[in-house]
């Protein structure tokens, strides 16, 4: 059967860390603390990569870009996103749309969403209207609420070329 549409879902979490820059949605946000990770720890781009890979049945971000590999140490996650888009295009798919949610108590993300949307669309070579980014908090509940880290979720639709 020739399947024209495929959906994918991605989830990621990173803990806050002192002395790290905060990278989110491909942009650096001015904030006293950042996120810990082998790469730049861009939790939003990682969730999006996993959603894209899942939709194309191409395993996950850790499979393609292992955090044990020196070449990915502190890597800009926009490079991982661009490579992920290449993988799904190589398999014959194009992005329909992506809908993402970042869950964090701090900082306030809404002012940064247009810049993230533009940056991500440019990296993915799609129209900004294909990328939705939403921000929410955890109402001070759980590890996100205790400000131990942040989470991101992403849902995508791929269309067969
Ligand atoms: Mg990650």
pLDDT in tens, 22-72: 999 999 999 999 999 999 999 999 999 999 999 999 999 999 998 887 888
- Distance in angstroms (rounded) separating the CA atoms of residues 138 and 144: 6
How close is the Cα of 9 to the center of ligand 1, in Å?
A: 14
How close is the Cα of 41 to the center of ligand 1, in Å?
A: 6
Domains of the chain: 5-160 (3.30.1330.50)
How close is the Cα of 48 to the center of ligand 1, in Å?
A: 10
Mean pLDDT along residues 128-140: 97
**To the nearest whole percent, how much of the chain has pLDDT over 70?**
99
How close is the Cα of 96 to the center of ligand 1, in Å?
A: 23
Structure tokens, 82: 């661009």
How close is the Cα of 1 to the center of ligand 1, in Å?
A: 34
| Bond prior to 119 in cis (omega within 30° of 0) | no
Tell me the chain's radius of gyration from C-alpha atoms. Answer: 15
* Best CA proximity match to 74, nearest among 121, 116, 47, 34: 34
Tell whether the model's pLDDT for residue 125 goes beyond 90. Answer: yes
Tell whether the model's pLDDT for residue 128 goes beyond 90. Answer: yes
How close is the Cα of 93 to the center of ligand 1, in Å?
A: 24
User: Contact, 98 vs 131, CB < 8 A?
Assistant: yes
The angle that helices 113-124 and 43-55 make with each other, rounded to 10 degrees, is 40
Percentage helix, strand, coil for the chain under 3-state DSSP, each rounded to 5: 35, 30, 35
For position 72, what pLDDT does the model report? 83
Over residues 105-118, the pLDDT tens digits come to: 999 999 999 999 99
Contacts of 141 (CB under 8 A, 6+ apart): none
Query: Quick check: pTM over 0.85?
Result: yes
- Distance in angstroms (rounded) separating the CA atoms of residues 126 and 153: 20
For position 68, what pLDDT does the model report? 83
- Distance in angstroms (rounded) separating the CA atoms of residues 45 and 138: 20
């Amino acid at each position: 059967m020739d399947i024209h549409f495929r959906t994918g879902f991605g989830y990621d979490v990173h803990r806050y860390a002192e002395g790290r820059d905060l990278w989110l949605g491909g942009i650096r946000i001015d904030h006293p603390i950042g996120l810990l990770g082998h790469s730049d720890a861009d939790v939003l781009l990682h969730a999006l990569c996993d959603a894209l890979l899942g939709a194309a049945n191409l395993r996950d971000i850790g499979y393609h870009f292992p955090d044990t590999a020196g070449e990915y140490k502190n890597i800009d996650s926009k490079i991982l996103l661009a490579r992920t888009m290449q993988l799904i295009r190589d398999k014959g798919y194009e992005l329909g749309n992506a809908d993402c949610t970042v869950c964090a108590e701090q900082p306030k993300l809404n002012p940064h969403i247009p810049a993230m949307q533009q940056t991500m669309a440019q990296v993915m070579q799609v129209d900004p209207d294909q990328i939705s980014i939403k921000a929410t908090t955890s109402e001070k509940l759980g590890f996100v609420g205790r400000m131990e880290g942040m989470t991101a979720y992403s849902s995508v639709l791929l269309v067969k070329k």
